Structure 1
Amino acid sequence: MIKQGRSCFVIMLVGLLWSAASYSANWSIYYPRPINENDIRHEYPLALLKLALSKTGVRYSLSPSERILLQGKAIRQLKESREINILWAMTDSQREKDLLPIRIPVYKGLIGWRVFLINQAFSHKFRDINDVADLTSLTALQGAEWPDTKILQSNGFNVLTVPEFPEAYSRLSQRQADYFPRAVSEVLGELNARSMDPSIMLEPSLALHYPAAVYFFVNRSNPIMARLIETGLRRAIEDGSFDNLFVAHHRDALLKVDVNERKVFELVNPLLPKETPVDDEALWFDPQKHAPETVDNIP
């Protein structure tokens, strides 16, 4: 009984010490600097990270890295604990081996709902698409180091890879590929960018879906930061502020890119780690719950 009592006391003491250390510290958090300061793809994950931190009451500073870090480089730097101490990226088994994931999907899985940007000159190619086999006869664009590339290839898709994100749009403008699958959460912001070639359009009737999650990742030697951010995210889920933020940032996309009105092709994601919390409905986008008529009524 004495040993058991001591064990409980030690566990409680460790918890109290962790809590005291976490909440008294001034956390300096560095994330990958985007390609340009107007890259709106960073707005939502940064807003969610700030929300999570606000729920914990800790003091923190949040800053971009000194230099631009594309995803592949950012992952390597975080693994080696250089320049940054957090990033957000789509998960796969290798990334979860190299880094420490916080297994709460940042985009509620919306990143796995994909619609197509196409060159208007190729719009006729998509009018009679009836199954996945029809799509695999066309050429899709993806980043060379994106998990999506392997997901599409494993499902039989023909994929043309590019080393950097802007090059995909250049290839699309030059008609060197047929379509560029983009997440519902990001497609409108990219399509409305000032630099976008006016010949590029959103294909109106098709979509892909595969289970996928973007997580916040930290270095594996930093479990205290991971626990801190997870605590904040859990509290935001419980009080509804996570979902409110998600809807506020994606309202236009959910209204204008209604996947319920599209022909959706389901794909397998062989890269999805078995630890992914796919059964926790509170963590995921639901096409019915987040349908336009519902979203439009959320403050």
Structure 2
Amino acid sequence: MQGKQGRRVLSILSGLLLLTVCADVLSATWKITYPRPSSDSDKSSEYPLKVLALALQQTGVKYELIPSRKFYPQGKNLNRLKDNREINVVWSMTDKQREKELLPIRIPIYKGLVGWRLFLIRDDMSERFKYIQKLEHLLKLTPIQGSDWPDTKILQSNGFDVLTNSTPAELAKMLVSAQGDFFPRSMLEIREELSNFPSNKKIIIQPTLGLYYPAAVYFFVNSKSTPLAHLINTGLERAIKNGEFDALFVETYQDFIDKSKINNRNIYTLENTFLPINTPINRSELWFNTGY
């Protein structure tokens, strides 16, 4: 009898301990540091932070999102995350190397639209682009991209001779000074980036062409941060199921999608051999259907 009672008491104590731990987790504030934007005018972090906040809200935890002390280029942000220094979460396009070094939350926060690329060009190049009738013609021109962007490797592996630099601001200067012929940007960011060019610089969005390759931007955490990864993944899945994720996406980007007029463009499809095997391509609810 004493043995049964002892086991019963031990079971009760274990249950109380588990409840206490759960309560502590829910009552504790998760302080999550993300990469600081390049400037006050840089709005590229707004949507990912809204998605991250939405995911955390779905779980009921208390949280605080904190920018890093200073701005770092994407490569340094990823390295700091890998080394578990200051930064707890980064959003970035996935590839095999990043999934090897970091822990991905495999839900594409832009629903794959990051792989639909339009071109920033100088207006004095407009006539040149009118003569492009197939991908082989486009391959004769030189794109510019970030030196540590997965897009660079994708373009290179498809035959492009890519010029690189470390930041969008430096890449913009390259385009203006005719170092490179076009600057491929996703349809979700190209209009904002165009607005960042000085008004006296004649940079336009090329109106008839585009590129597509399968691509996903995920939240990444340190490889040992499984509780945080589970928390974000749980919240995202709940937001997808209840429709709040799609509502935020449409509210933010439907106008960008409409203005891109994908169906009126010649879109050249590239292979992305760097896409990891675990990319959830078969989950149709995670991807935007452009109707192209």
Equivalent in the alignment of 1:198? 201
SS in 1 for 2:64: strand
Rate the CA distance shift 1:86–1:179 in 2: closer, same or farther, 3 A. same
Aligned to 1:171: 174
Q: Which residue of 1 aligns with 2:284?
A: 281
Which amino acid is 1:272 matched to? L
Name 2:89's counterpart in structure 1: 86
After TM superposition, the structure 1 = structure 2 runs for residues 185-264 of structure 1, keeping only pairs within 5 Å, are 185-193=188-196, 195=198, 198-264=201-267
Residue deviations 1:151-175 (CA, integer Å, cap 9, x gap): 0000001211112221111011111
1:19 CA displacement: 5.3
Q: State the alpha-carbon separation in 1 of the partners of residues 207 and 52 from structure 2.
A: 33
Quickly say closer, same or farther: Cα 1:56–1:196, change in 2 above 3 A: farther
Q: 1:173 to 1:232 in 2, by over 3 A?
A: same
Query: Over alpha carbons, which structure has the higher Rg?
Result: 2
The residue number in structure 2 matching 1:125 is 128
Matches within 5 A, 1:1-299: 20=23, 22-193=25-196, 195=198, 198-288=201-291
What SS class does the counterpart of residue 45 from structure 2 fall into?
A: helix
Determine if contact 1:138/1:178 at 8 Å carries over to the other structure. yes
Alignment check: 8 A CA contact 1:173 1:197 kept: no
Q: Secondary structure at the match of 1:33?
A: coil
Q: Paired residues, what number? A: 278
Q: Is the 8 A contact 1:34 1:70 kept in 2?
A: no
The structure-2 alpha-carbon separation of the partners of 1:207 and 1:19, relative to structure 1 and needing over 3 Å to count, comes to: farther
Structure-2 change in CA distance of 1:60 and 1:172 (3 Å): same
- Relative to the length of structure 2, the TM-score reads 0.91
Greater CA drift, 79-88 or 21-30: 21-30
> Does the aligned pair in 2 maintain the 1:22–1:228 contact within 8 Å?
no
Following superposition, the deviation at residue 18 of structure 1 comes to 7.8
Preserved CA contact (<8 Å) 1:77 1:84: yes
Q: Distance between the aligned counterparts of 2:31 and 2:244, measured in 1?
A: 24
User: Partner letter of residue 181 of structure 1?
Assistant: P
Q: Deviations over 1:2-30 (max 9, x none)?
A: xxxxxxx9xxx899788555423210000
Pairwise CA distance, 1:230: 0.6
In structure 2, relative to structure 1, the CA distance for the partners of 1:132 and 1:241 (3 Å cut) is same
Superposed CA RMSD in Å reads: 1.9
Summarize deviations over 1:56-81 as a string: whole Å, max 9, x none.
Answer: 11100001000112100000000000
Structure 2 portions without partners, runs of 5+: 1-10
- The share of aligned pairs that are identical, in percent, is 49
- How far, CA to CA, are the matches of 1:15 and 1:203 in structure 2? 59
Which structure 1 segments of 5+ residues have no match?
1-8, 292-299
- Determine if contact 1:205/1:261 at 8 Å carries over to the other structure: yes
Q: Output the amino acid matched with 2:116.
A: W
Give the C-alpha shift of residue 273 in structure 1.
0.3
CA positional deviation for 1:224: 0.5
Q: Quick check: 2:73–2:166 contact (8 Å CA) kept in 1?
A: no
Q: Give 2:36's aligned amino acid.
A: R
Seen in structure 2, the aligned counterparts of structure 1 residues 18 and 107 have a Cα distance that, compared at 3 Å, is farther
CA distance in 2, matches of 1:139, 1:18: 57
Between the aligned partners of 1:105 and 1:22, the Cα distance in structure 2 is 27
TM-score normalised by L of structure 1: 0.89
